[in-house]
Structure 1
Amino acid sequence: MTVERPVTVAVLGTHSTGKSTFLARLAHELRRQDIQVATVADLGEQAQRIGLPILFNHTYASTLWIITRGISNELEAWLHADVVLVDRAVPDALGYYRAALAYRHERPDPAALSSLEPLVEAHSLHYDLMLRTTLDPEIPIGDNKERDSNSDFRVLADHYVNRVLHEMRLPHELLPADGHDHALARTVAFTTARLSGLQVGP
């Protein structure tokens, strides 16, 4: 099964809210239907390995790297799959950058934002479906990877990712923390319908 451009499903939201787990389940369900799936991974750890600051230390440079590298990885994945699953859509990086500035009590540089925002907004048109995870503060920050354990910053990241989506009027659905089964079934149905040429929401 081939399509002119892959159906692209992206998940975003603050850390330890189930993005990677949901995408792994989604990939499994789609592959069971013999759909070719490519996954574009979260770039946070790679950024950290090459020496870029992440989380509440994010800078303009680290944010631009994550956005542009993410776009590049997504475009490469377009060549190899019917469906591309993105772990952290590009608005996520902008939300984290704004959260980092708020955490450090720094004013955003209007010139920096004016160069990042059009890039994020334009590329987001390529996402057929975006799902934003919802934060349950009672769920602890996961220890399966090295990451910030600061719960205050996790709340700020949740707030600013949501704010970026709403300010840019980017359509998205919520991925609740208390169970992914309904969202999984809905996303599988959405994706298979798009592959069949049916125009369905959002």
Structure 2
Amino acid sequence: MEDRAYSVSLTKNPLISMKVIPGHFTTNHFHISHYLDVSELKTNAVIAKDVARELSIPYLANVSVDTIVCMEGTEVIGAYLAEELMQEGVGVINTGKEIRVLKPVISANGKLLFQCNVQQYIRDKEIVLLVASISSGTTIGRALDCITYYGGVIAGISALFNAYPAGDEQVIHSMFTREDIPGYQVYSMGECTMCREGQKLEAIINSEGYTNI
């Protein structure tokens, strides 16, 4: 499987790249035609800082941010993003502020929640939601519901990769989109073209990586 891998780089900063493996993969919710490995973007401090700089651009001048909520292991990027947003400079709206970087916890029944000691950083606060990948919209929908439930105000959504169609209510700022990956497809489990063509599933994928079947 790894021998099919190739890299897709950000045009204006080739240091920012993700590994792409075409195939037939499954998650808990859907089947997908490509596995996107963004682990280097999330874990390499040098690269994560560059990623945060790119993601900060839509917010620097005119979006007030109190808290960054991180999903799918994006906490390192989130910390650097907070640093970028709080930098000193003319026209940087969050200069001098304190920005919190949080992640929700998952309850025993699979619900997202914020524990009591950090709910004060969500309620009535301007929130940027940071996720690694948006394919079906399931994860981002759960995260938005959680933030709204605890009284947070969505100031923005940022993603390393976004394949989800843009909605009318909320713009998603992303570095890579499905246009960067020719042939990228997401299928509900009962409507997967690859299954109908007899192509066997190769691996189970989640935000941490993949497990061969």
TM-score calculated relative to the size of structure 1: 0.32
- Rg larger in structure: 2
Q: Which has the higher relative contact order, 1 or 2, with Cα contacts under 8 A spaced 6 or more apart?
A: 1
Structure in which a larger fraction of residues adopt helix: 1
TM-score calculated relative to the size of structure 2: 0.31
